Amino acid sequence: RKEVEQDPGPFNVPEGATVAFNCTYSNSASQSFFWYRQDCRKEPKLLMSVYSSGNEDGRFTAQLNRASQYISLLIRDSKLSDSATYLCVVNRWNSGNTPLVFGKGTRLSVIA
């Protein structure tokens, strides 16, 4: 099983749609989880951390299922500006201060 696995997409959705991305990770001892956003030819930027109880930031909701080793990101009311690649990120070992492992990303295109 790959360390972090995501559907590469692309997901092509109309403006205003709700879209969900999923991600699985292999290390059951991982403790830190993130979603990053990467625009074309730019660096990755932190979108949100993912907390055990799930968390929301405006139109974005992240969920963690430790039993299934599964992370999700839900985007409501998609905007054209949401078009980007979304990277699922997990820490490598069971200590907080360890390298992160990045998924290869899921590409989202929001269409007018």
Partner 1 sequence: DVKVTQSSRYLVKRTGEKVFLECVQDMDHENMFWYRQDPGLGLRLIYFSYDVKMKEKGDIPEGYSVSREKKERFSLILESASTNQTSMYLCASSSPRAEHNEQFFGPGTRLTVL
CB-CB contact of 61 with 55 (8 Å): yes
Residue 59 near partner 1 by CB under 8 A? no
Binding segment toward partner 1, per CB under 8 A, in 17-25, 56-64, 76-84, 89-97: 89-97
Q: What are the residues facing 85 on neighbouring strands?
A: 38, 107
Residue 30 near partner 1 by CB under 8 A? no
Residue 23 near partner 1 by CB under 8 A? no
Q: Which of residues 33-52 bind partner 1 (CB under 8 A)?
A: 34, 42-46, 49
